[in-house]
Amino acid sequence: MNRKNVIRTLTAIAVVLLLGWSFFYFSDDTRSYKPVDTSVAMAQIKGGNVKSAQIDDREQQVRLTLKGASSGTDGSDKIITKYPTGYAVPLFDALTSKDAQVSTVVNQGNFLGSLLIYVLPLLLLVGLFMMFSRMQGGARMGFGFGKSRAKQLSKDMPKTTFADVAGADEAVEELYEIKDFLQNPSRYQALGAKIPKGVLLYGPPGTGKTLLARAVAGEAGVPFFTISGSDFVEMFVGVGASRVRDLFEQAKQNSPCIIFVDEIDAVGRQRGAGLGGGHDEREQTLNQLLVEMDGFGDRA
């Protein structure tokens, strides 16, 4: 997520917050009343300076319209104050004893306001979560932990051929059969031959293992999926096995193709050697890899 999108998202959040604040501000009908202490309001009531009053027992507040402004109200003839719980009846009696017009408010609450109070923070949290998820690696990180991270190269992408590989004639000869099978499968199937489930290339770094794999893809002219063994394993349990399943599902949709797992020793080690025993994440990933290569499923 680039900086422009971050600014755009933050601007949208700020606009939503501003609209919510404006709604509550302009829907407040007490803005014309001056807040005062309870003692000031009681002094105005006892002095008979109250023309009319409105008691809101739900909010525990009373609005007073005075007969005339006084120094105690800073020159305002409309004041509002809070009163203690259970004081509504004594307050009503005090007002009626001074011949003030008294009304009560039965406030059931504003449905839209109540909805915004609960829904708006939730929407903001979801928006922030999605924004930071995209910043940490896109939607795949936020909601697609189990998606494969393999890069797919089309059949025209790898331009490497066996002619580019030097010093590995025996390996080239073995891999040539796989390349020929991918190009002419019917000839081998007529003889009852089956393509190997996989080829293990091992050796010191720099001996051309990756180059050989690219050469097979370039010669065969089929889609080529490449991924590192470390891309399967995460801190979340089950992610590695899920990524293996997703990778082979993509491969089946693009068959015939080649899957190249670089540095497979990140997951392909002796089973039962992990700290978690049979529940180790690497072991689950390896088991799923073996199932996909030689399981009961079709077109594996």
- Lowest mean per-residue pLDDT among 62-76, 96-110, 146-160, 266-280: 266-280
Whether residue 139 is predicted with pLDDT greater than 50 in this model: the reply is no
- Of 126, 142, 158, the position where a domain reaches its end is 142
Tell me, what's the pLDDT at 298?
Answer: 57
Range of the domain at 175: 145-294
186/273 same-domain check: yes
pTM beyond 0.85: the answer is no
Residues 10-47 pLDDT 10s: 777 777 777 766 766 665 566 678 888 888 888 888 88
Tell me, what's the pLDDT at 195?
Answer: 77
Per the structure, the count of domains in the chain is 3
Residues 53-71 pLDDT 10s: 888 877 788 888 888 887 7
* CATH assignment at residue 279: 3.40.50.300
275/204 same-domain check: yes
Structure confidence at residue 171 as a pLDDT band (50, 70, 90)? confident
- Is residue 162, in this structure, part of any structural domain at all? yes
* CATH assignment at residue 35: 3.30.720.210
Tell me, what's the pLDDT at 279?
Answer: 52
- Is residue 300, in this structure, part of any structural domain at all? no
9/79 same-domain check: no
- Is residue 155, in this structure, part of any structural domain at all? yes
Q: What is the 3-state secondary structure (H, E, C) of the chain?
A: CCHHHHHHHHHHHHHHHHHHHHHHHHCCCCCCCEECCHHHHHHHHHCCCEEEEEEECCCCEEEEEECCCCHHHCCCCEEEEECCCCCHHHHHHHHHHCCCEEEECCCCCCHHHHHHHHHHHHHHHHHHHHHHHHHCCCHHHHHCCCCCCCEEECCCCCCCCHHHCCCCHHHHHHHHHHHHHHHCHHHHHCCCCCCCCCCCCCCCCCCCHHHHHHHHHHHHCCCEEEEEHHHCCCCCCCHHHHHHHHHHHHHHHCCCCEEEEECHHHCCCCCCCCCCHHHCHHHHHHHHHHHHHHCCCCCC
38/96 same-domain check: yes
210/249 same-domain check: yes
